[in-house]
Structure 1
Amino acid sequence: MTKQGLVVVGPGLMGRKHIELIQNNPRSELAGIVTPERAVFNDIGERLNVPLFHDLETCLDSLAPSGVIISSPNEFHYDQARLCVERDVPALVEKPITSTYEDAARLADLVARRNAKLIVGHHRAHSPLMSTAKTLIEEGRLGRLVAIQGSAIFHKPPEYFEAGPWRREIGGGPILINLIHEIGIMRTLCGEISAVQAIASNAIRGFPVEDTVAINLQFRSGALGTFVLSDTGASPRSWEQTSRENPVYPTYPDEDCYSITGTQGSLDFPTMRLKSHPASETPSWHRPFVEEVIPVVRADPLERQLDNFIDVILGRGEPVVTAFDGAQNLKVADAIRRSAETSTLVALDS
């Protein structure tokens, strides 16, 4: 088996995880690392026995990698991803795809025009929980979608802000740091979002940036949604604390962070508790539900994401999360931010 040589740009926290995944995957090998000229990273290439470069262009001039994984700071994503597209080098770009929606739209357009191989690192889309829930919805087990209720409520400790003082300032709040994951989940399960309305508060911490946001959502299908986001609420109702997919966080397997409701039934997620009426039966609140827990075969979403990237490189599969998806997720997040700032309904389809 020929291994796909992959370059990792940005060996920070997420970059090191990508390196570990590459080394553990029988279909890939680490071909090189691109890192800024900082002493903390100076010996990483020697330790891993791969070439070390200080910019991506020099790396691509020197190597012929099968693909590039971009896990650098957000501000560099657009230029680095564009370079890969222009060089016809497949790329996996960590979320968000770029730092602004305008750049994301330009990059998505370039990818489409050149039919480039690019996937975006919204790894939750690769979770077996997500694919199972999406199949249930597509099969009509819930009927026509009516509503989704979601939450990402958790408490970030003081040291989180001490380690990164920028997180206290505008642009460092949970809308831009955390919400983009949830937008990807809701778009995957319920379709495109057509309008948003949000209220934000910084009453708990008093930082210039928000700490809590309440959001109303309208989907093109006609379904409606509500979502509460907070990084100062002591609650287990977030993806990290309910999905059991990241060992860094304690988890609570009896808790859910989403409830998806249709005309025939509802799904609590990610416990996968389904309460539904048979398709042959007219739903009524006087009729008891058929109750079941949908089984899910567990797998690491990040491992599955890397396998998807390798399949895309080899021409054996399509991206689970496309450049368009990455841009659309960023567009919704930006609309929510603008709605919170202006106290208005923001339409995305206008």
Structure 2
Amino acid sequence: MEKTRIAVAGAGYIGLEHIRVIRESTHCVLSAVVDPSDAAGDVAAAAGVSHYRSLEELISKDRPDGVVLATPNQLHLPHALVCMQAGLPMLLEKPIAATVDEAETLVAAADRHNASVLIGHHRAHSPIMMRAKQIIEDGTLGPLVAVMGSALFFKPDHYFTAAPWRKEPGGGPILLNLIHEIHNLRMLCGDIVAVQAFSSNATRGFPVEDTAAIILRFASGALGTFLLSDTAASARSWEQTSQENKAYSSYSDEDCYAIAGTFGSLSIPTMRLKTYGKAEDRSWWKPFDVSVAELTRDDPLRHQMEHFRRVIHGEASPLVTARDGLQNLRITNAIVTAAKTGAVVETNVAPAAQREVEH
């Protein structure tokens, strides 16, 4: 089988991860690295591929089968438009764009061009997430009632001294980290239609939040809470529990999500299940049937790249669409608004029409 030729635009941290995954693939091959920096030339040379300083140069000289756009957020829209106009399938890193307005422009353009766009919410390709989604969809938990989530971790001082903009509005965990969690929760529990939030900067005292407490209302009627902090000495985060990113220490006794329905509950990623065997036996005085769901753990970036290969060849539709990317960004921005105003913010409408509902 001829390998699928994929170029990577952007040779930063996530771009290098995509390069690694492509080079390890049995079905894909790295065709080029696109980045205006000289350092990217060294990356390309080490990989034995060509280095181009722009997407236009890549497309004119060595058109690949698909491209990974791992460029800075503010370049997502213009770079995506270049790929759409060339009819080039893309894996576009999250967030879909720097702003909701730009994301809406990108989605509209994708519709016009009938473009193949996979948004890089890589956790959607996690075998853990896939197994949890299957358990919920199989009805094992019954209709969902409540969701509890957390992303509690500690960013060291040098994280902020290395990039002082992280101390300013827009550099806090809501906009930088929460968007990962939003897609996970939407994937497992359905769409989020309204949010409310409190935020605090009491620990570090920076002009941006370090902690947030969030309430979520899902389209099904289920309710959720989410605790987020980048100054909490805790392991209750996806990276520290899933064992998927080896750069992080992992703790197998911790969970970051607990999802409860009328028949049982699932803790993720330990995959501990507590269920009632019979409808008539459901009671807090009755013991649960206790089990652990079987699963395999694997690198979600590897699964995402294989899925992208299938999208390129028309064998699959994007698991995470441009509209998903837009909605994830809308919800994240709505949480920022809710934390600032104290209002309930609906998320199932465009920002221009978003209604803030007074308490």
Structure-1-length-normalised TM-score: 0.97
Verify: 1:73 aligned to 2:58, yes or no: no
Distance in structure 1 (CA, Å) of the matches to 2:160 and 2:95: 21
How far is 1:40 from its partner? 2.9
What letter corresponds to residue 73 of structure 2 in structure 1? N
Match of 2:207 in 1: 208
2:186–2:192 CA contact under 8 A, matched in 1: yes
Match of 1:91 in 2: 90
How many residues were matched structurally? 349
Match of 1:31 in 2: 31
What letter corresponds to residue 35 of structure 2 in structure 1? T
What letter corresponds to residue 322 of structure 1 in structure 2? T
Distance in structure 1 (CA, Å) of the matches to 2:100 and 2:192: 15
How far is 1:114 from its partner? 2.9
Any residues of structure 2 matched to 1:243-254 within 5 Å, and which? 243-254=242-253
How far is 1:278 from its partner? 2.2
2:150–2:226 CA contact under 8 A, matched in 1: yes
Residues 1-54 of structure 1 show CA distances to partners (whole Å, capped at 9, x for unaligned) of 111111111111111111111111111111111112x34334333332222111
Match of 1:11 in 2: 11
Distance in structure 1 (CA, Å) of the matches to 2:279 and 2:167: 54
Distance in structure 2 (CA, Å) of the matches to 1:282 and 1:114: 55
Verify: 1:236 aligned to 2:235, yes or no: yes
Verify: 1:131 aligned to 2:130, yes or no: yes
Distance in structure 2 (CA, Å) of the matches to 1:48 and 1:272: 38
Residues 236-273 of structure 1 show CA distances to partners (whole Å, capped at 9, x for unaligned) of 10001110111111111011011000011110111000
Match of 1:184 in 2: 183
Residues 159-217 of structure 1 show CA distances to partners (whole Å, capped at 9, x for unaligned) of 11111111111111001110000001100001010000011100110111110000000
Residues 124-144 of structure 1 show CA distances to partners (whole Å, capped at 9, x for unaligned) of 110111011111111110000
Any residues of structure 2 matched to 1:165-180 within 5 Å, and which? 165-180=164-179
Any residues of structure 2 matched to 1:196-345 within 5 Å, and which? 196-345=195-344
Any residues of structure 2 matched to 1:109-128 within 5 Å, and which? 109-128=108-127
Structure 1's 265 and 83: CA in aligned 2 closer, same or farther, altered over 3 A?
Answer: same
How far is 1:106 from its partner? 2.0
2:263–2:279 CA contact under 8 A, matched in 1: no
Distance in structure 1 (CA, Å) of the matches to 2:271 and 2:90: 33
SS state at 2:151 partner? strand
Distance in structure 1 (CA, Å) of the matches to 2:40 and 2:124: 31
Distance in structure 1 (CA, Å) of the matches to 2:90 and 2:126: 20
Unaligned regions of 5+ residues in structure 1, if any?
none
Structure-2-length-normalised TM-score: 0.95
Match of 1:45 in 2: 44
Distance in structure 1 (CA, Å) of the matches to 2:45 and 2:243: 35
Unaligned regions of 5+ residues in structure 2, if any?
350-359
How far is 1:331 from its partner? 0.6
2:33–2:40 CA contact under 8 A, matched in 1: no
Distance in structure 1 (CA, Å) of the matches to 2:343 and 2:336: 11
Distance in structure 2 (CA, Å) of the matches to 1:64 and 1:31: 9
Match of 2:153 in 1: 154
How far is 1:282 from its partner? 4.7
Residues 43-71 of structure 1 show CA distances to partners (whole Å, capped at 9, x for unaligned) of 33333222211111221122221000011
What letter corresponds to residue 93 of structure 1 in structure 2? L
SS state at 1:253 partner? coil
2:34–2:40 CA contact under 8 A, matched in 1: no
Distance in structure 2 (CA, Å) of the matches to 1:48 and 1:131: 32
2:150–2:227 CA contact under 8 A, matched in 1: yes
Distance in structure 1 (CA, Å) of the matches to 2:348 and 2:32: 42
Match of 1:102 in 2: 101
How far is 1:111 from its partner? 1.9
Distance in structure 1 (CA, Å) of the matches to 2:242 and 2:45: 37
Distance in structure 2 (CA, Å) of the matches to 1:54 and 1:329: 31
What letter corresponds to residue 309 of structure 1 in structure 2? F
Residues 297-347 of structure 1 show CA distances to partners (whole Å, capped at 9, x for unaligned) of 222100000000001011111211111111110010000011111111101
Distance in structure 1 (CA, Å) of the matches to 2:178 and 2:148: 14
Distance in structure 2 (CA, Å) of the matches to 1:115 and 1:148: 36
Distance in structure 1 (CA, Å) of the matches to 2:280 and 2:84: 52
Residues 218-237 of structure 1 show CA distances to partners (whole Å, capped at 9, x for unaligned) of 01100000000000000010
